[in-house]
Structure 1
Amino acid sequence: MSTSLDSLDTPAAVIDLARMQRNIDRMQQRMNALGVRFRPHVKTSKCTPVVRAQLDAGAQGITVSTLKEAEYFFAEGITDIVYAVGMAAHRLPQALALRRRGCDLKVLTDSVASAQAIAAFGRANGEVFDVLIEVDTDGHRSGIRPDDATLLDVGHALHDGGMRLAGVLTHAGSSYELDTPEALAALAEQERAGCVGAAERLRAAGLPCPVVSIGSTPTALSAAHLDGVTEVRAGVYVLFDLVMHNVGVCTTDDIALSVLTTVIGHQVDKGWAIVDAGWMAMSRDRGTQKQHRDYGYGQVCTQDGTVLPGYVLSQANQEHGIVSCESAPALDIVERFPLGTRLRILPNHACATGAQFPEYRALSGDNQLTTWERFHGW
C-alpha cells in the first residue's frame, strides 16, 4: 500500500530510496574497484527490501549480529551468513539447527575455551562448524591481538578439534572516533595489516586461513588498498547518520533515514517547539555528543528533507522532543513552526533509531511511500 508523507501518522521512520541506493552503489563500486568481496552487515536495517537491494548491487552473503537475524534472512532465501558475534555455548544448538537446514553459517570465537566448546559440541553432534577467529586490530572491543600467542592456540583448538578454521575477522570500531581523512586512512591500513598479519601467522603454523574479513563503514571508505583481504563488511553506510557525518564519510545529503514528526506545542519564552518524536522514536543514542559537532538527538529538516541549519532536537522525553535553535529569537518559534508543522529529524545512529520502529516507510522519488517490515529481538 502506498501513501504520502502528508497523510502519514507520526512519528514514523522514513527511508529516502534515492539516497539509500546511492549509498549502496557507492560502497559496492568501491569494493569492486579494490577487488574484494563485500558482505554487508544487516543489523542496521533488519529489513528484507534493503538487504535485497544490497545483494542486487553485487554484495555476496551477509553479516548478522544475532541468530534471529540469521534465521530470518535464511528463511528469505539467503544462505551465506556470518554471525559476527562471539559464539556463546548456549547458542550452539540454534547454530547447529540452521546448518542442518542448509544455512552456510559461519561462527566466531576469540578464546581457547570458546573454541574448545565449539569443537566439543560439533564432534558430539557430528557437525563440522566453519569458525572464524576474531582479531583485535585497534583495541576497540573484542578479539585476539594479531601477535598474541593465543591466536595459534585457538587455531589449533579448532583445526585439531575437527572444526573448519574458516579464517580471521576484525572490526575497526575505533574508526568512529576519528574525523580526518588522514587518520581514517591510517586506521584502515592498521586494520588491514593486522588482520592479514594474523592470517599469515596461522598459515605459517600450518593452519588453514582462507578468509581475511575486515570492516567498518569509515575504514571501508578510506582504505588505499586491501592487499591480502578477501572480504569487507560494513553496515551503517546503507543509511548513514550524523555520527558518520561527523566522522567525515558522508554529508547530511547522504543520510537516508529520518524520523517524520509533528509540532504539537510551543514554549515561546524558551524558544522551543514541541514535537511528537521523543527518545522512544529517536533512541537514547547521543553518539555525536563527544564529537566536534553535537546534534542533540538529531538534526531538524523540513518535511521535504531540507536541513534547517542550527535547529536540532535538543532534548527528548519519552514521547516529546524539543526543537530549538541557539541563534533564533524565542518569539520566532511559533511563526517558524506553527502547530501541525511536519519536520524530519536525521538520527545520530541509524541502527539505534531504526530499532525503535516495527516498520520503515520507503519514500520514492515521486513522494510515494511503501511500508517495509523491520524485525526486532534476539
Structure 2
Amino acid sequence: MMLTDIPTPAALIDETRMKDNIARMQAHMTALGVRLRPHVKTAKCIEVARRQQAEGASGITVSTLKEAEQFFAAGFDDILYAACITPNKIDRALALRRRGCRLTVIVDSIAAAEALAARGQAEQHAFDVMIEVDTDGHRSGVKPDDALLIGIAGTLHQGGAVVKGVMTHAGSSYDLNTHEALARLAEQERSLIVEAAARLRSAGLPCPEVSVGSTPTALCARDLSDVTEVRAGVYVFFDLVMSNVGVCTPHEIALSVLTTVIGHQTEKGWVIVDAGWMAMSRDRGTARHGIDYSYGAICGQDGRSLDDYIMTAANQEHGIVCRRDGQADPDIAQRFPIGSLLRVLPNHACATGAQFSAYQLIDGERAVATWERFDGW
C-alpha cells in the first residue's frame, strides 16, 4: 500500500529509522555492560517490543497494569511496573503473578510497603518489589540518604515481599541540552542510586538489582559501574523534544503523522490540514526549549524536512501549517496543493502515539504492515 492509499491522519513508523534507533541504544548498553529493559509505554505495541527484544533487550518496563497484562499475554513475562503501586491495584498485580508473570512492582512509602506486605502475607505470596529513589528532584522517590529508605526495605523484608532492589528515573534530563550536562546527570543518577543500594546492603537488607533510566542519560552515560539495568523508552522513535535535548536529530525521528492538505488561507500564508490536536496531542514540550516547533515540524510526503514550516496551531481536527518566521508565503496554495500529503514530526512521541489505535510501518513511501497499538489503564 502506498502512502496515498492510507486514510489520514495516520501514525507512521519509519522502519529503517526505528531499527537504527534500537540498534544504537542496545549497542551502547552492551558496551557499558548492563541489561537494557525498554520502557514500552512509548509505542504500546507488541511488534515494536519484539524488535527491541530481538536486538538484545532483556525484559520490559511498563507504566500501567494494562500494559503488563497485554504484553504478558503476548509472551513477555519479565515485567517491571514502574509506577508506585497503590492498594487498589495489588490484587490485579497478584493475579498476573499467579499466572506466571514475573512482575516486579515499586513503592516509595511506608504506607505502600505495608499494604503490599500485608496482602502478600494474607495470600502466602511474596511480591518482588523495588524501591524508587529520587536522584534529581524530578518526581517520585525516596532520597538516597533518607532513613525512610531503610524503613521501607525493612517493612518489605518482614514478610509478604522480597526486596529486589532500587530504581530511579532522571526525568530532569529533558531540561538539558548538551552532551556534557547530560553526562554529568547520568553520573549523578548512577552514583546516587548506587549509594542507596550500598546503604541497604550495609543495613543487612538485600539489594540485588540497581536500575536507572531515561533516554538522554542512557545515551550519554560514560560509566554504569554497579548498575545492573537501564530503562529507556522514547529512543525507539525519538521526537522533537529529544532532538532539542541533543540526543538525536530530526532526521532520526521514526514516528510521524501523515496528514492531507484540505484548505488554505492564502492571505495569511496558512495551509489547513486534517491533523489537529486529536492527532498530534496537546503536548507543547518544545515551547520551553531554544527551538519551539509549536505542534510539530513539517516534512514532505517523502519524509524530507521542510525546515521553514511548522504546525503553528491545532484545533480538534484541523491543523494550521505556515512558515516558522510568521511571514506569509504568497505561493502557499501552489506549494502545498489541496489533497497533497505532508508528514508531521511530533514533539512527544508517547503523547502523539497515544492518539492512534494502530501504526503504519513504512519503507520509503510504501506501507508494509499495520501494527496495532493499545491504550487505557
Interval containing the TM-score (normalised by the shorter chain):
over 0.9
Partner of 2:368: 369
Cα distance in structure 2, aligned partners of 1:370 and 1:141: 38
From the superposition, tell whether residues 243 and 4 of structure 1 become closer, same or farther in structure 2 (CA, over 3 Å): same
Q: Which amino acid aligns with 2:376?
A: G
Cα distance in structure 2, aligned partners of 1:253 and 1:162: 49
Partner of 2:355: 356
Cα pair 2:270 2:332 within 8 Å, conserved: yes
Cα distance in structure 2, aligned partners of 1:376 and 1:151: 33
Q: What is the CA deviation profile of residues 90-127 of structure 1, one whole-angstrom value per residue up to 9, with x for unaligned ones?
A: 00000000000000000000001110110000001111
Q: What is the CA deviation profile of residues 206-251 of structure 1, one whole-angstrom value per residue up to 9, with x for unaligned ones?
A: 0000000000000000011000100000000000000000000000
Q: Quote the sequence identity (%).
A: 63
Partner of 1:323: 321
Task: State the SS of the aligned residue for 2:76.
Answer: coil
Partner of 2:29: 31
Cα pair 1:5 1:369 within 8 Å, conserved: no
Cα distance in structure 2, aligned partners of 1:252 and 1:272: 23
Q: Which amino acid aligns with 1:294?
A: D
Given the alignment, which residue of 200, 203, 213 partners 1:202?
A: 200
**Runs of 4 or more off by more than 4 Å in structure 1?**
none
Deviation at 1:328, TM superposition (A): 4.9
Partner of 1:338: 337
Partner of 1:166: 164
Partner of 2:237: 239
Q: Which amino acid aligns with 2:39?
A: H
Q: Which amino acid aligns with 2:214?
A: S
Task: State the SS of the aligned residue for 1:105.
Answer: strand
Partner of 2:256: 258
Partner of 1:14: 12
Cα distance in structure 1, aligned partners of 2:328 and 2:165: 59
* TM-score (ref. length: structure 1): 0.98
Deviation at 1:327, TM superposition (A): 6.1
Cα distance in structure 2, aligned partners of 1:155 and 1:125: 20
Q: What is the CA deviation profile of residues 131-187 of structure 1, one whole-angstrom value per residue up to 9, with x for unaligned ones?
A: 000000000000001001100000100012341000000000000000011110110
Cα distance in structure 2, aligned partners of 1:365 and 1:255: 14
Given the alignment, which residue of 83, 92, 101 partners 1:94?
A: 92
Task: State the SS of the aligned residue for 1:140.
Answer: coil
Cα pair 2:301 2:365 within 8 Å, conserved: no
Given the alignment, which residue of 93, 111, 115 partners 2:109?
A: 111
Question: Is there any run of 5+ residues in structure 2 with no aligned partner, and where?
Answer: none
Deviation at 1:330, TM superposition (A): 3.0
Q: Which amino acid aligns with 1:196?
A: V
Deviation at 1:341, TM superposition (A): 1.1
Deviation at 1:370, TM superposition (A): 1.1
Deviation at 1:368, TM superposition (A): 3.1
Cα distance in structure 2, aligned partners of 1:366 and 1:298: 20
Deviation at 1:365, TM superposition (A): 4.6
Q: What is the CA deviation profile of residues 55-103 of structure 1, one whole-angstrom value per residue up to 9, with x for unaligned ones?
A: 0000000000000000000000110000000001000000000000000
Task: State the SS of the aligned residue for 1:107.
Answer: strand
Cα distance in structure 2, aligned partners of 1:32 and 1:367: 33
Deviation at 1:42, TM superposition (A): 0.2
Deviation at 1:364, TM superposition (A): 2.1
Q: Which amino acid aligns with 1:292?
A: G
Cα distance in structure 2, aligned partners of 1:366 and 1:282: 21
> RMSD in angstroms over aligned alpha carbons?
0.9
Task: State the SS of the aligned residue for 2:261.
Answer: strand
Given the alignment, which residue of 4, 10, 15 partners 2:2?
A: 4
Deviation at 1:376, TM superposition (A): 0.9
Cα pair 1:46 1:69 within 8 Å, conserved: yes
Task: State the SS of the aligned residue for 1:197.
Answer: helix
Asked if 1:70 corresponds to 2:37, the answer is: no
Cα distance in structure 2, aligned partners of 1:260 and 1:337: 14
Cα distance in structure 1, aligned partners of 2:136 and 2:154: 24
Partner of 1:79: 77
Cα distance in structure 2, aligned partners of 1:223 and 1:180: 13
Cα distance in structure 2, aligned partners of 1:365 and 1:335: 25
Cα pair 2:302 2:365 within 8 Å, conserved: no
Q: Which amino acid aligns with 1:4?
A: M
Cα distance in structure 1, aligned partners of 2:80 and 2:220: 23
Task: State the SS of the aligned residue for 1:289.
Answer: helix
* TM-score (ref. length: structure 2): 0.99
